[in-house]
Amino acid sequence: MGNGIKQIDIIRTSSSRPELLELTTESWKKYLKFDGELRWILHEDVLNSDKIEAIKKIGSNYDIFQINNPAIGQGESLFWLLEQVKTKLILYIEDDWKLLKEINLDELYDLMYTNTDINQITFNKRAIMAKKQWFIKKEIKKDNISLVTDMYWTFIPSLWRIDWIKPKIPEYLKETSGGTCSYGLNDHLRKFFGDKMADEDFNADWVIANTGTYFLGNLMKNYKELVVSGKMDSKDYDKLDNGFYVQHLGYTPYEPENWHWPLVEPPKVRKYKNITEYTNNRKGIPRTKDNRKWNPWISKEELS
Residue in 156, 157, 35 with CA at minimum distance from that of residue 106: 35
Nearest C-alpha neighbor of 245 from the set 211, 214, 212, 268: 214
Taking alpha carbons only, the member of 10, 24, 12, 11 closest to residue 250 is 24
Measured distance CA(14)–CA(21) in Å, rounded: 7
pLDDT of residue 169: 76
Give the chain's mean pLDDT.
78
Give residue-wise pLDDT tens across range 88-102.
999 999 999 999 999
Q: Is the pLDDT of residue 197 over 60?
A: no
Residue 151: what pLDDT? 85
Does the global pTM surpass 0.75? yes
CA atoms of 110 and 115, how far apart (whole Å): 8
Cα 30 to chain center, whole Å?
19
Q: Is the dihedral of CA 44, 28, 246, 86 positive or negative?
A: positive
229-274 pLDDT, tens digit per residue, is: 888 887 777 667 788 899 888 744 333 333 333 333 333 334 556 5
Looking at residue 282, what is its pLDDT? Answer: 45
264-279 pLDDT tens trace:
333 333 455 655 555 4
**Ordered structural domains, the chain, with CATH:** 7-303 (3.90.550)
Give the largest Cα separation in the chain, rounded: 57
